[in-house]
Amino acid sequence: MPAARVLIDGPSELVFDYSIPEGMEAKPGCRVKIPLRNRSSTGTILDITEEMPTHFTLRPMGELIDPEPLITPKLMELGKWMADYYGTPMELVMRALIPESVRQESHSEKTRKVVHIIDQPDEETMDKLAKRAPRQHLILTLVDAAGGQMPLADLGGGSVTASVKSLEKNGYVELKDEAIRRDPDEGEEFLEDQPLKLNPDQAAAMEQVIAQIDQPEKPMLMHGVTGSGKTEVYLQAAQRCIDLGKSVLVLLPEISLTPQTVQRFKSRFASIQDQVAVLHSHLSQGERFDEWHRIRTSKARIVIGARSAVFAPLTNLGIIIVDEEHENSYKQDSAPRYHGRDLAVLRGHIENCAVLLGSATPSLESFHNTESGKYHLLTLEERADNQSLPIIRIIDMRIEGKKHKGGPAILSDPLRGHMEKKLAEGEQVILFLNRRGFARSLQCPGCGHVCECRHCALPMTYHRAEERLICHMCGHQAITPRKCPECGDPAIRFQGYGTEQVEGVLKKCFPQARLARIDTDTMRRKNALRDTLRAFHQRKIDIIIGTQMIAKGLHFPNVTLVGVLNADLGLHVPDFRAGERTFQLLTQVAGRAGRGELEGEVIIQTFTPHSPSIQFARHHDFLGYADQELEFRKQFGYPPYTHCALIGTRSNHERRAEFTLENLHQRLKTDLPDGITLGEPMPAALTKAHGQYRFQLMLLGHSARGLSRHINKILAQTPPPEDVTIVFDMDAMGF
């Protein structure tokens, strides 16, 4: 008798083995009822084996909740590849493949009672009802006027139930349960728009995309400058797939891009907008449940979502589109540590469908794949509206600081002057600062003490609205001290600035301007981001100050000035990708300016104006930056010329975490395969987080599969102490 490994629903999500009753056609991915101690529970079958254990007897499973698997065989194949490549247990992979809202018993389809007329009484009967049972007469009249059916709640709910039951007993009406879709965009109106005429670059790219949809060969990378009309190519490629009866998957890196992208797709596909589904973390559990099942039952053929949407249970895929493919947010930071872009490419291979990656600043890994012939390169060199790219000016804050006593101001004189001019002309401004809060730290000028989080090796950020010091790593909060906790000096003061402080400065400098701040502190309310972006698009807001939530993908034609307040924030960190990320971020932010009929300007404030990342971004020169950065990576053997894996240990006990990693290092060094470079154990860049000390070592290898297999073999042979956690991150993106 075969056995099944079942992932149990619930907060603990345990995994147990059960025997499969004779005659039951159980498959991996099926939902089942199972006995759990003295009660009944539900779960999802992870795997089936023909080998029953001999030293004990398994309890039999209960009945199947759904005879068909929740996920397709191709998605199961993708999941097994993930488990092997990323060194992750299959039960963790299954949790990624099937959302919690679908696996848990507490979530189900929302229904309502609807009254249906099945036999309309004749006029004589209606006259009798009007005299004997006026309420029944009124119900029949209202339902008939509504087209023969009407929700019970609209008729008065419980107050008319008895009358409806009487009508049902006499065979006039029928009371049915009808499913209600919990629509994330309920109340939104989408006006239909028509396809735009493509310029020569777009038309050439579209021709190649169509060829790949008809006959998939290899993934495509579309490198187009900001404002070059990549989204229009996406829309017309999606239309091609819909016309062929195929489905479309669109991946986005940030939730902030979702409202505009959903609006564009639902406007373009207004006649079938019910077939557009959305998947991201801001949905309620009920909305996610409904959207997922609409996709599974093929009621939705276009799916738009963040990285987890790569597991959307679409069938007959025509194309997978990965917008802003360079973004680090496609990389999952908890197990399974997959990369959404890489899984999209693999899923395209498994599903035999086209894959289109798009970006104004492609990742060097993807760009290198075009040079080696693994990907097709599509290029959009001009903006779609024939507008020129914005002029970028660099402000050296070292010089600016000499003009002001006490150091440089938040707004340099040139930036402030340009803002006054643009606002006077009725144009809009975006200011970018990738740090939220009021001040980055609280420091004593006397003894140098910095208020740090007790759980993390990080300064705590001051938030004026809450009057608290908050750790942005673990969320720990503390009361702001009036004097230095170390020496008692009352002169303790704030260092640095964040979006909250900038907002206060702007209110003083531009009292008449309408401001909005976009960061995770202000966008907590559901749909707050969507409403703010809509108001900005409608010119009800003059200035937006925001973090990287506003740095990419957004299209506002009236924005003519973008200011980057501190371009150095991510530049000087111990990560070989730091320069690449800074270049990408600056280029993307600059691309928000001048996307309409008016020319755009960008002002970048920096203390390192001669950095290659800043200078190449100033000239919108991706190819120049890529050439010099790839040469650097090649010399040092970094990705994309190798694959990078990171092994980390963490524990409440510093020495145990360090010793465990040293032991792993010795084991990895033994029989180290050729082509793998093993680094030395060292403290992580963030030495302590969430109360745990962290150590790490890096491995580089030419063969991703060889690197992954060697690490997984050693990890399987080296169980860590109970109080030490080992983290394996294949194709690591952060250090």
What CATH number does the domain containing 12 carry?
Answer: 3.40.1440.60
Q: Are residues 266 and 334 in the same domain?
A: yes
For residue 590, give the 3-state DSSP assignment. helix
- In this predicted structure, what is the pLDDT of residue 690? 94
Taking the chain (735 residues) in consecutive chunks of 10 residues, what is each chunk's mean pLDDT?
Answer: 82 80 86 87 84 78 85 90 89 85 69 83 84 87 86 77 85 82 71 88 95 95 92 95 96 79 88 86 82 90 94 95 94 92 97 96 96 95 84 91 74 93 94 92 89 93 92 92 88 90 94 93 84 91 90 83 92 89 92 85 94 94 95 94 96 96 94 92 94 95 92 91 94 87
**Sheet of strand 376-380: strand arrangement:** 276-279, 302-305, 247-251, 317-323, 354-359, 220-224, 376-380
Domain annotation covers residue 179? no
Report the predicted TM-score, pTM, of the whole model to 2 decimal places. 0.87
CB of 110 within 8 A of CB of 163?
no
Tell me which of 450, 467, 496 is where a domain ends: 496
- In this predicted structure, what is the pLDDT of residue 252? 92
617-623 contact pairs (CB < 8 A, 24+): 617/392, 617/582, 617/583, 617/586, 617/587, 617/590, 618/392, 618/394, 619/392, 620/225, 620/389, 620/392, 620/587, 620/590, 622/223, 622/360, 622/361, 622/362, 622/587
CA distance 695 to 686: 9
CA distance 316 to 118: 38
- In this predicted structure, what is the pLDDT of residue 514? 95
510, two tokens: 């531009």
Domain annotation covers residue 171? no
- In this predicted structure, what is the pLDDT of residue 418? 94
Q: Are residues 370 and 401 in the same domain?
A: no
CA distance 724 to 111: 47
CATH number at residue 431: 3.40.50.300
Domain annotation covers residue 7? yes
Q: What is the 3-state secondary structure (H, E, C) of 160-188?
A: HHHHHHHHHHCCCEEEEEEEECCCCCCCC
CA distance 28 to 16: 14
Residue 468 lies in domain: 439-496
Domain annotation covers residue 590? yes
Q: Are residues 593 and 467 in the same domain?
A: no
Per the structure, the count of domains in the chain is 5
Q: Are residues 348 and 456 in the same domain?
A: no
Return the closest-CA partner of residue 316 out of 353, 276, 269, 273: 353
Q: Are residues 360 and 462 in the same domain?
A: no
Report in angstroms the alpha-carbon separations of 232 from 197, 236, 240, 279, 514: 9, 6, 12, 21, 31
Q: Are residues 607 and 716 in the same domain?
A: no
Q: Are residues 294 and 256 in the same domain?
A: yes
Place of tokens 């077939």: 275
**How buried is residue 143: exposed, middle or buried, by Cβ count under 10 Å (0-12/13-18/19+)?**
buried
Q: What is the 3-state secondary structure (H, E, C) of 628-685?
A: HHHHHHHHHCCCCCCEEEEEEEEECCHHHHHHHHHHHHHHHHCCCCCCEEECCCEEEE
**Sheet of strand 468-470: strand arrangement:** 461-463, 468-470, 477-479
Domain annotation covers residue 133? no
What are residue 121's phi and psi, to 5 degrees?
Answer: -65, 155
- Residues with Cβ within 8 Å of residue 658, at least 6 apart in sequence: 649, 681, 693, 695
Q: Are residues 701 and 577 in the same domain?
A: no
Tell me which of 358, 380, 402 is where a domain ends: 380
CA distance 298 to 305: 17
Domain annotation covers residue 666? yes
Q: Are residues 674 and 556 in the same domain?
A: no
CA 557 from chain center: how many Å?
A: 25
Q: Are residues 623 and 664 in the same domain?
A: no
Domain annotation covers residue 650? yes
- In this predicted structure, what is the pLDDT of residue 678? 95
Tell me which of 70, 103, 136 is where a domain ends: 103
Q: Are residues 689 and 672 in the same domain?
A: yes
Give the torsion through C-alpha atoms of 415, 420, 425, 430, to 10 deg.
50
Q: Are residues 299 and 356 in the same domain?
A: yes
What are residue 250's phi and psi, to 5 degrees?
Answer: -120, 120
Domain annotation covers residue 136? no
615-620 contact pairs (CB < 8 A, 24+): 616/583, 617/392, 617/582, 617/583, 617/586, 617/587, 617/590, 618/392, 618/394, 619/392, 620/225, 620/389, 620/392, 620/587, 620/590
CB of 664 within 8 A of CB of 720?
no
Report the relative pairing of strands 15-19 and 3-8 from DSSP bridges: antiparallel
What are residue 225's phi and psi, to 5 degrees?
Answer: -60, 160
Return the closest-CA partner of residue 415 out of 547, 510, 496: 510
**Sheet of strand 15-19: strand arrangement:** 15-19, 3-8, 39-49, 31-36, 64-66
